[in-house]
Structures are given as C-alpha cells and as structure tokens.
Amino acid sequence: MKSRLWALVLVFVLVVGMISTVSAQEMDPCLGLSSDDCAILQAADTATLNSFTASFDFNLQLTGLGTLSAMMGSADEGAPESITITANASNSPIVMNPDAADPSSALAMAMDVNGSISGLGEGTDTSGTFSFVIVDGVFYAKDPETGQWHGMTLEDAAAELGGAGLPVDPSSLLQGDMSSMGAATDPAAALAEAGLAPEDVEALMNVEGFLGQQRVADTELHGQPMATFESTVDISALLASSEFQNILMKASQSSDNPDAAQVAQIGMMLPMLVKEANVKLTRWIGVNDQLPHRMMLDVNATLDIGAMMGAAGGSDAPQMEPVVFKMTLDIELDQHNATTAPVAPEGAIMETPEASG
C-alpha cells in the first residue's frame, strides 16, 4: 500500500509543478489588449493576496506510448500504451506571510488530494487520497493506511531533496539564498553563455502566431462578474519560424563544442516532429474586487516520430502512432484575504531524515 502513497505524492508534485508553470508566466500583460483591459490584469497581478481557499482539478493523458516503447526496445515487456493521471482537491486553505522572519514559515496550507493513476498495466492502477498540512515550517503527511500523521521540518525535507542530486539546494532557497540557482538568476549571463543577446529573445517573442492574448466574453463567478482573458503560446509556430532557425544557427556557431553544428540540423527537423505544441492560460478576474478567482491551464502536444524518421529514412521508415500529451489544470480561488490558517494535526509523529530513510 505504500506504493499507493508515493503514487499520490507524485500526483501532487505534478500538480504543484503545473501551478508553478501558471504563476511563472512572463507574457507582457498588455500584449494584444486595450489599456483598460491591461489595467485589469496589472491590478490582479499586483493585488495584495495573503490568504485564500483553493480548489483544483488536474487531468493528464499520455497516449501513443507504444511508439516510445518500440524505440527503446521495451514493447514486449508490458510497457503501457497510455497513462491517465487525475487529481483534485477542494476548499483548501492557503495562508501566506511574506514578511515572516523565517522564510520556511511564510506558508501555511492544508489539502486532501484525491488522485488516480491508470494505464500502467493490469492490477497496477491505483487511487486514493494524499492528505498533508504545512504549518510553522513543518510538513505533515497522513498515512492512508493507519491514519497516523507524520511530520518533518521543511528544512530537513529540503536537505533530503538536496541530497537526491537536485541541481539546486532547496534548503538554501528556503533561507532566501538564491545563489544556488546559478545562471538562472542572471538571464543575461545565461544568454551570453549560449552566444545570444537580449535582442535575439525579443525577435523570438515577436514571431507571428507564437504569443497571443485577448479578452473573451465575461462570465459570473462567486457572485460577481468576471473579466476573462486568454493567453496562448503556440510553440509549433515558433519552431517553424526563420527567427528560431537563425538563433539555433547562431548558438551552434558560437559554441566550442565540435558537435554543435548538428544543433541547427536537428532544429530544422523539429517542425516535422512537433505537430502540435500549445499552451493556453485562461484567467478570470473579478470586475469588482480585481482579484484572480480562477485559472485554467491547457497544454497539448503531439510528437510525430514516424514523420521525422520518414523524412530522414525515406519510405522504408516504420509507421508509428503519434505520441500525444494532454494536460488540464483548473484552479479556483475563494475567500480572498479571509481564510484562517490551518493548524498542526494532533498526535503527529516527528521524523528526521535519518529515521525516515
């Protein structure tokens, strides 16, 4: 039964990762919008939001995995043809204190994540609930078999993650030390290392069809009208653009790696491989309170490995089913700045990295 717990932990990690993707959007808030509409988004982005309740639905579907299995020689080993992962939670309190003296205590939240994983093979589908609480710098998780709560400080948990070969030091990040992020904290340095300049990125941002934004029909939610905005990213348009190909060529020519010349050649084949790759972020902003009330992230991608191999190998290339990735994350926020912080579960057993390993 422990495998079920870790499967649901994986579901939660995926959900958190996708939430981070939503919050990390760096699209120009005024792109394609009128000044009035842009002001609504900017007000929502800068609004003070210290607490809320969150509900979400997450769905991930992967199909065409038989193609990947055949390429890796594992098609006869019971490899799955498709995988579906779902997760949801409702009315989960989240309270933030960015001014906390201890950064690890800046977040308090509680959540019961109901999840399932199917398609892994006969007898391996799993479902259940993963319950956790974060309070005062401690992460508590409930054992689904016994109902017993176990706790570990976020610092100890981050130290364990840091020892797992992660490229950054999570414990340092909890203390506000961003130096472990390296070049990621200096985009200009990262660009220069690749032989690129800020104007190269600007050229990509202006590729026709790559980025789009519009205000769509207003709706009503939580008792007030919602201004609804759609932001889109079409990676297929980017890969097929001359600007992208030029940057690949520039980066390969500036590299000291003798194999770098192949980068541009591979880049030319990407439009044949990536038949579809798009992201749509829909946001519902309260017209009256100018706060975010709902966000929906849709990600779709189709990789046609057979078409790319056919271009490289001619008519003798094998026919392969495309690999299709579809993901939806729908998040609703309520009780803005009126949510009570959760408390630590009673009777929790505290663990240490040594004891839990």
Residue 232 and residue 30: Cα distance in Å, rounded? 13
Residue range 35-51: mean pLDDT, rounded: 92
pLDDT grade, residue 120 (50/70/90)?
confident
Residue range 28-36: mean pLDDT, rounded: 84
Q: 295: which strand partners?
A: 283, 331
Residue range 88-109: mean pLDDT, rounded: 90
Largest CA distance in the chain: 66
Residue range 59-63: mean pLDDT, rounded: 92
Residue 136, CA distances (Å) to 53, 157, 239 in order = 18, 14, 45
Q: Mean pLDDT score of the chain, rounded to an integer?
A: 78
Rg (CA), the chain: 23
pTM of structure: 0.80
pLDDT grade, residue 338 (50/70/90)?
very high
pLDDT (0 to 100) of residue 114: 93
pLDDT (0 to 100) of residue 268: 74
pLDDT (0 to 100) of residue 78: 60
Q: Give the list of residues 6+ apart from residue 19 with CB closer than 8 angstroms, or none.
A: 56, 329, 331
pLDDT in tens, 78-95: 667 788 999 999 999 999
Q: What percent of the chain has pLDDT over 70?
A: 68
pLDDT (0 to 100) of residue 55: 96
pLDDT (0 to 100) of residue 191: 58
pLDDT above 60: residue 1: no
pLDDT above 60: residue 156: yes
Helix ranges, the chain (H): 2-23, 35-46, 65-71, 154-162, 170-174, 187-193, 198-205, 235-239, 242-254, 261-273, 305-313, 353-356
Question: Residue 311, Cβ neighbours under 10 Å: how many?
Answer: 13
pLDDT (0 to 100) of residue 278: 92
pLDDT above 70: residue 14: no
Most confident of the ranges 36-40, 153-157, 199-203: 36-40
Instruction: Give the lowest-confidence range in 95-99, 214-218, 249-253, 285-289.
Output: 249-253
DSSP string, 25-72: ----TTTT--HHHHHHHHHHHHS---EEEEEEEEEEEEE-HHHHHHHT
CB 254 within 8 A of CB 195: yes
pLDDT in tens, 262-286: 666 667 778 888 889 899 999 999 9
pLDDT (0 to 100) of residue 180: 52
CB 217 within 8 A of CB 228: yes
Burial 152-187 (b: 16+ CB within 10 A, else e): bbbbbbbbbebeeeeeebbbebbeeeeebeeeeeee
pLDDT (0 to 100) of residue 174: 55
pLDDT above 90: residue 11: no
Residue 106 and residue 137: Cα distance in Å, rounded? 8
pLDDT (0 to 100) of residue 183: 45
Phi/psi at 198 (5° precision): -55, -35
pLDDT in tens, 186-228: 555 655 665 667 787 788 888 899 889 999 999 999 899 999 9
pLDDT (0 to 100) of residue 22: 40
Residue 42 and residue 35: Cα distance in Å, rounded? 10
pLDDT (0 to 100) of residue 340: 94
CB 327 within 8 A of CB 83: no
Residue 313 and residue 310: Cα distance in Å, rounded? 5
pLDDT above 70: residue 53: yes
Q: Say how far residue 222 (Cα) sits from the centre of its chain.
A: 26
